[in-house]
Chains A and B, each alone.
Chain A
Amino acid sequence: MKRIDVCLLLEGTYPYVRGGVSSWVHQLISGLSHLNFYLVFIGGSRSFYQQQHYTLPDNVVGMETHYLMDKDGLLAPRARRGKKSAFSLWQNVISRFKNPEQTLDGEHLQGLLANLGKKHGLSYDDFLYSERSWDVIVDLYFQHAQNQSFVDYFWTFRNIYSPLFTLVKVAENLPPARLFHSISTGYAGFLGALAKQKQQVPYLLTEHGIYTKERKIDLTQASWIKDRHSALDTSIHKKMEQTRQTWIDFFEQLGRTAYDQADSIVALYEGNRQRQIKDGAPADKTGVIVNGISMERFSEAYAKRPQQAPKVAGLIGRVVPIKDIKTFIRAIRVALNSEPELQGWIIGPTEEDPSYVRECELLVNSLGLQDNVLFLGMQNVAEILPKLGVCMLTSISEAQPLVLLEAMAAGIPCVASEVGSCREILEGMNEHDQQLGRCGYVTNIADPNQASEALLALLEDDQRWRQMGDNGYRRVQAYYQEHTMYERYQALYEEHLTWQE
């Protein structure tokens, strides 16, 4: 096999799942075509990832896939004692998972690599069936959960720690690479930490969302975890259900270990960088590399931009609750009072959540907006942008929405809710950037009045409209170009690759 420059560690995304992160990975690989990439995909269960959605670029020299929840080739349960030394290390490691403030250090990771899944260390069968493993579970249970259902605790324990065995095995068998790069913390980040310890080469971490935070949100809502509070337990300070807490602690430790081992930690925008630092990332390793777009794609759109603002507000995005389409519809309703000609276009696929689409349609009807609000479905963004007056984004959660950058590249001003990096994009991320001027307005989440006010402010003043459009164009040009992103990553890779030579 060809020399591997960068081994990408991908959890549940590229090339099996479509979405922002996946297109970013594809963009990165294609953009740095002189480097050889090797892909390691980690998924939950094989059945969830059937189809590959991307054609791998030529500079991908190999790929492997691993599924953490698929268990095969297990021996039948048989009583066994277990190795003492392996289990004392294990107990030490587990206690840190219970106490995520104490990060696993290189020595622990080396210990895991040397012992987990090894016949003379801590084999997977020993983990499942041995007496020492039982003693570890019982100890932990009495320390942390002695009033909780034991059978739940037991299975949580098994399910949580089983993937570590797979990860260690994966790390052991990775082909030699000059650098590892994981696109999230979590299992992929932990694998990165193990791989760094195994091969003693640099490890980089880029986070799009904040994995640990997203997991926490999932877990607090997860309905598969049964809450077994005693009916007689009337204390006000009910602790969070132990199972959820155990999972959260686990992901926190995975994240911290990844942060601790990473040589550089990249966030998409300043807000996430602060969050990473709060979650335990050493500040001096962190940095921001914003996503970029190709301005050429929108040059035609920019050229076609009319002199006067078209009375059209466009929302480009999937029709799903997280985009809060309803606030957009309400904002159009309010704005119609002063701008009767106004059109509101919803541009994006409607297949994902049909019931939400139906709710939105009902809202349109009940507000009498049938003539003013249109569902256009999927469209070529570059073609439709010149027809828009304002690009609106009412999402309740975003990281760094590319759609704003695209609108700005076409010279269209934007109105976006204050989520993710929207304020940085529209108003500038640093002093120099801010001097370029704002290219739209930031509004509160779920506030149709404020959104309509911002919308009208742009549509009613053509001069301001063009000015803000130009501001945006210049900002994309200065900070958010694809090649800038490539250069930044190129520099980052080189910084870590050159010292090896």
Chain B
Amino acid sequence: MAGIGFELRRILKKNTLLSYLEAYGLAAVVGSGPWVLSILALMIIGMISIGRVFPNILIIQYLVLVTYMMAGSLILSGMFQLLLTRFISDRLFEGKDHKVTPNLLGCMLIVSALGTAIGIAVLANTSLDAAVKMALLCGFVVLCNLWLIIVFLSGMKQYYRIVATLAIGYTLMVLASWLLPPYGILGLLMIFAACQGLITFVLLFFILRNYSAGSLIAFQFLNRKQAFYSLALCGLLYNLGVWVDKFVFWLHPEVSFAVIDMFRASYIYDLPIFIAYLAIIPGMAVFMLHMETDFAASNERFYQTVREGGTLESVYLLKDQMVLHCKDSLYQIFKVQGITLALLLLWSEEILTLLKIDLAYLHLLYVDLVGVSLQVILMAILNVMFYLDKRYQATALVTVMTLANLMLTELSIQLGPEVYGYGFALAMLISTVLGLVMLNRQFNRLEYETFMLQR
């Protein structure tokens, strides 16, 4: 999606300190996306609700249920996100803008149907209140759709509306949870579902206004000739890989407990890692800014020169430039995420104290901060692979990540509390290093593969 690249470059052209802040801010919101904002909002809700919702266990139950909704919806929609993104950008490249809306709606229909079916199947095995089940189901299906729609945000030009929508949506959620008379867990869940629904539909409204359409619903994005199914697998595995360590902790009785019905949480693992995830915002902002500006532009120049018959000399030069921009982007992410990491490591104790969280979590937070920082670099590497159209290699990389995270986390539980978190961090380290090695090889063989292995 080149849209945000143009916008970011336009802002940066002003070349003032403020314009840099603006560009980074925009990149942070669009880049780290609503799920980081969701975590932030939930933490605020969690904190302000203490003392208002009784008993306190209800808040924990609420947060755990929302976490499951987030995990499930990210994994489910992950199957379609990359697939749909690629389909849409291919059609836009062909100038077939009118295919965007019908296929988005078709995809939302399928995701909603799948989400509903899975949601019902899971909730049928619980003994929750019928009303709570309904609220959970609504929230889950809405989230699935929200993640799909986010794919389009960077492709549109109305960034300030998007930022405003997200800001208003989440502020509303926090305020409603705080100000409305407490209706216990049902009330909180309904507010959550309603606010996510509001955000989803307002964003959908922007998209529908942006792309004209000849028909309402289409399923061409599933057409074998136009779709890359490997991307579905890649998206599924990536989200699975990011969540698998949490699932492992939730499933082990010695490190988890039943919170509500069948939904379990880990008293030791969950809190630090969710705080740690907030630390990726600066890294994601830099990632978005550099990848979508310099790198995306040099990538496009490279392929354009290939298509339009440049000399091999110029193709080589443009690749060198692309490699340089990629290196620079990764370096910038490394630098900014590194500084963030250093500061957070320094202030971890203060942060935990401020949030009134037990300092026993401190060590785990350190490890998780390193892990999520590596995850940002891994995301950047995967993004470069998608630009280079290395779908299978990207899938292989996320498979390694998922398996490593699963096995190393399991191992860390076997080894005892002092190594909790190392499974996740080590899995990210292994995949990041592997990703860099793969990327290096892909760049070295880029001309060969671009010409010789095309269909």
Residues of A within 8 A of B (CB): 76-79, 128-131, 133-134, 138, 141-142, 146-152, 154, 228
Contact = CB atoms under 8 A, between A and B. Distances in A.
15 contacts: A76-B455, A77-B453, A130-B452, A131-B445, A131-B452, A133-B452, A134-B447, A134-B448, A134-B452, A138-B312, A146-B312, A147-B311, A150-B306, A150-B451, A151-B306
Given A79-B449, A146-B311, 16 more contacts: A79-B452, A131-B445, A134-B447, A134-B448, A134-B451, A142-B312, A149-B309, A149-B310, A150-B310, A150-B312, A150-B315, A151-B306, A151-B307, A151-B310, A154-B451, A228-B309
Contacts of A131: 445, 448, 452
A149 B305 CA distance: 9
Contacts of B452: 77, 79, 128-131, 133-134
Of B308, B315, B453, B455, most buried by chain A (CB within 10 Å of CB) is B453
- The DSSP consensus for interface residues of chain A is helix
A406 B44 CA distance: 105
Nearest to B453: A77
A36 B397 CA distance: 64
A152 B311 CA distance: 10
Given A142-B312, A150-B315, A129 B453 contact: yes
Interface in B435-455: 445, 447-449, 451-455
A152 B310 CA distance: 9
B254 interface: no
Contacts of A141: 312
Contacts of A138: 312
B313 interface: yes
Contacts of B455: 76-77
Chain B contact-residue range equals: 10 to 19
Contact of B309 (A77, A130, A134, A152): A152
Contacts of A148: 311
A273 B168 CA distance: 89
B454 A146 contact: no
Contacts of B307: 151
Nearest to A129: B452
A300 B453 CA distance: 68
Closest 10 CB pairs of A and B: A149-B309, A77-B453, A150-B312, A134-B448, A151-B309, A134-B452, A129-B452, A154-B451, A152-B309, A141-B312
Interface in B407-455: 445, 447-449, 451-455
Contacts of B315: 150
Nearest to B307: A151
Nearest to A148: B311
A342 to B, nearest CB: 58
- The DSSP consensus for interface residues of chain B is helix
A77 B454 contact: yes
Nearest to A151: B309
Contacts of A154: 451
Given A131-B448, A134-B448, A150 B309 contact: yes
B450 to A, nearest CB: 10
A149 B310 CA distance: 5
A129 B312 CA distance: 18
A79 B448 CA distance: 9
A76 B455 CA distance: 8
Nearest to B312: A150
B452 to A, nearest CB: 5
A146 B314 CA distance: 10
A406 to B, nearest CB: 52
A238 to B, nearest CB: 16
Nearest to A147: B311
Contacts of B445: 79, 131
A246 to B, nearest CB: 15
Contacts of B310: 149-151
Contacts of A79: 445, 448-449, 452-453
A73 B315 CA distance: 32
A76 B453 CA distance: 9
Interface in B338-363: none
A473 B85 CA distance: 81
B311 A78 contact: no
Contacts of B454: 77
Nearest to B314: A150
Contacts of B451: 134, 150-151, 154
Contacts of A228: 309
Contact of A146 (B313, B447, B448, B453): B313
A133 B452 CA distance: 9
Contacts of A147: 311
A138 B448 CA distance: 9
A297 to B, nearest CB: 57
Contacts of A142: 312
Of A128, A133, A134, A146, most buried by chain B (CB within 10 Å of CB) is A134
A128 B449 CA distance: 11
A133 B449 CA distance: 12
Contacts of B313: 146
A147 B312 CA distance: 8
A146 B312 CA distance: 7
B90 to A, nearest CB: 19
A23 B307 CA distance: 46
A148 B312 CA distance: 8
A102 to B, nearest CB: 25
Contacts of B308: 151
Nearest to A142: B312
A151 B312 CA distance: 8
Interface string B294-322: 00000000000011111111010000000
A231 B439 CA distance: 37
B311 A150 contact: yes
A77 B308 CA distance: 22
B312 A78 contact: no
B318 to A, nearest CB: 12
Of B306, B311, B313, B455, most buried by chain A (CB within 10 Å of CB) is B311
Nearest to B448: A134
Contacts of A151: 306-310, 451
